């Protein structure tokens, strides 16, 4: 693996967008050429080197490139946009749209990220060690065709409406999620290890949501199917007892499944 190390200088108050800095676009470029890649700074364009020190070694083959952002880039958006192969490691926080439209490869963010992480993701792996904002693995605003593949893991907490209009792939949140996790979900798997406040699976058509913690307030559009033990999802067995629900009957033709941990959710069972 060849590493290209981008050390952030000061983060500007107007956001940066690393739309075209990923292993696929830097492959075959010299370090000097990478320094000159134009990135968006608000409504103007600047060279990458204006906000990052660039060193390391590139490769002809994008899958042999790891881009390391060596510091906090809390005001830098669209890291790994549309990425197909290789790796990106962010050793700090990142702003919105990490891994948006990602098709392959791997992104690891050691800190927290803003909203829309993994929006419209098709493949690859996105790992966030800290917290994520709203709309993790969702669809583009307005669209009804969201994340279709790949895997997102958030080790901290996530915000509202994660997995919105999800069609496939897997999202795993190790911490808690807030309102409307899996809204309009139409496929794929969403696992929340912590609590999931309210309205899990609102208007979901299909797919599976597993909540290992507590659902404070559940929607009325779900049919209760009893207790299920040691459920198997994607070949993986989760050994606990779960209340099984089907819904959301607020939409016609629904067939989504919500599993809620039986030891914490007695209050939502009819």
Partner 1 sequence: MEYIIKNGNVFDPANNINGEKIDICISNGKIVEAVKDSAKVIDASNKIVMPGGVDLHTHIAGGKVNLGRLLRPEDSKDFYESKVGNKRSGSGFSVPSTFMTGYQYARMGYTTAMEAAMPPIMAKHTHEEFLDTPLLDKGAYDLLGNNWFVMEYLKEGNLDECAAFVAWLIRVTKGYAIKIVNPGGTEAWGWGGNVQGINDPVPYFDITGAEIIKGLGKVNEMIGLPHSIHLHCNDLGQPGNYETTLKSFDLLKNIEANPKYGERDTSLHATHVQFHSYGGTSWRDFESEAPAIADYVNKNDHIVIDVGQVTLDETTTMTADGPMEYDLHKLTGFKWANVDIELETGSGVVPFIYSPKSPVSGVQWAIGMELFLLTNDVNKVVLTTDHPNAGPFIRYPTVIAWLLSNKYRTDLIENSLHPWVQKKTSVATIDREYSLYEIAQTTRSAAAKVLGLSETKGHLGVGADADIAIYSFDPETQDPSTEYHAIEEAFARAKYVFKDGEIIVKDGEVVKPEGYGRTFWIDSQYDSELENKVVEDVKIKFKKYYSINFDSYRVHDEYIRKSSPIKLS
3-class secondary-structure state, position 40: strand
CB of 269 to partner 1, least distance (A): 30
Residue 74 engages partner 1 in binding (rule: CB under 8 A):
no
Q: What is the CA radius of gyration of the chain?
A: 20
Q: How far apart are CA 215 and CA 199, in angstroms?
A: 8
Q: How far is the CB of 140 from partner 1 (least distance, A)?
A: 5
Under the binding rule (CB under 8 A), the answer on residue 144 touching partner 1 is yes
Peptide bond into 139 cis (omega under 30): no
Beta strands in 133-185 (DSSP E): 151-154, 170-173
Decide if residue 44 touches partner 1 (CB under 8 A): no
Output 127 or 251, the one with its CB closest to partner 1.
251
Q: Which of 1, 142, 220, 232 binds partner 1 (CB under 8 A)?
A: 142
CB of 141 to partner 1, least distance (A): 5
Number of Cβ within 10 Å of residue 195's Cβ equals 18
Residue number, 140 or 249, with CB nearest to partner 1: 140
Measured from the CB atom, the residue of 89 and 251 that comes closer to partner 1 is 251
141 binds partner 1 (CB under 8 A): yes
Minimum separation from the CB atom of position 255 to partner 1 (A): 14
CB of 176 to partner 1, least distance (A): 29
Instruction: Compute how many residues bind partner 1; rule: CB under 8 A.
Output: 9
Cα–Cα dist 87/34, whole Å:
16
Of positions 33, 45, 50, 143, contacts partner 1 by CB under 8 A: 143
Give the binding range for partner 1 (CB under 8 A) out of 7-15, 89-97, 235-243, 249-257. 249-257
Taking CB under 8 A as the criterion, the residue among 72, 74, 140, 175 binding partner 1 is 140
Look at residue 191 and give its three-state secondary structure.
strand
Closest CB to partner 1 among residues 45, 234: 45
Residue closer to partner 1 by CB (options 232, 252) is 252
Neighbours of 241 (CB within 10 A): 13
Return d(Cα 172, Cα 231) in angstroms, integer: 16
> Which of 15-23, 57-65, 130-138, 248-256 is the region at the interface with partner 1 (rule: CB under 8 A)?
248-256
Reduced to 3 states, what is the DSSP secondary structure of residue 192? strand
- Specify the residue, 45 or 236, whose C-beta has the smaller distance to partner 1: 45
Residue 142 or 235: which CB sits closer to partner 1?
Answer: 142
SS3 assignment, position 117: coil
Torsion of CA 125, 129, 130, 131, to 10 degrees: 30
Which two structure tokens, joined as six digits, stand for 191? 């696992």
Residue 200 is encoded by which pair of tokens?
Answer: 């899990």
SS3 161: coil
Residues that bind partner 1 (CB under 8 A): 139-144, 251-253
């Amino acid at each position: 693996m060849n590493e290209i190390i981008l050390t952030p200088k000061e983060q500007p108050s107007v956001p940066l967008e690393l739309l075209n800095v990923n292993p696929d676009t830097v492959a075959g470029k010299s370090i000097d050429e990478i320094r000159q890649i134009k990135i968006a700074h608000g409504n103007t364009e600047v060279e990458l080197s204006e906000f990052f020190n660039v060193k390391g070694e590139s490769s002809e083959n994008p899958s042999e490139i790891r881009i390391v952002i060596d510091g906090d880039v809390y005001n830098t958006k669209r890291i790994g946009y549309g990425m197909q192969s290789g790796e990106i490691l962010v050793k700090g926080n990142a702003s919105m749209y990490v891994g948006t439209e990602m098709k392959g490869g791997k992104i690891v963010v050691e800190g927290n990220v803003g909203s829309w992480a993994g929006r419209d993701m098709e493949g690859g792996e996105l790992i966030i060690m800290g917290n994520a904002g709203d709309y993790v693995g969702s669809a583009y605003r307005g669209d009804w065709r969201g994340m279709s593949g790949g895997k997102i893991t958030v080790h901290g907490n996530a915000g509202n409406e994660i997995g919105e209009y999800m069609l496939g792939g897997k999202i795993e949140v190790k911490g808690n999620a807030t309102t409307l996790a899996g809204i309009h979900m139409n496929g794929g798997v969403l696992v929340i290890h912590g609590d999931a406040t309210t309205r899990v699976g609102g208007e979901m058509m299909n797919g599976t949501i597993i909540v290992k913690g507590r659902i404070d307030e559940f929607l009325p559009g779900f049919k209760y199917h009893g207790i299920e033990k040691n459920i198997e999802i994607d070949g993986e067995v989760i050994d606990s007892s779960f209340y099984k629900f089907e819904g959301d009957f607020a939409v016609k033709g629904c067939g989504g499944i919500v599993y809620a941990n039986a030891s914490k959710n007695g209050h939502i069972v009819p």
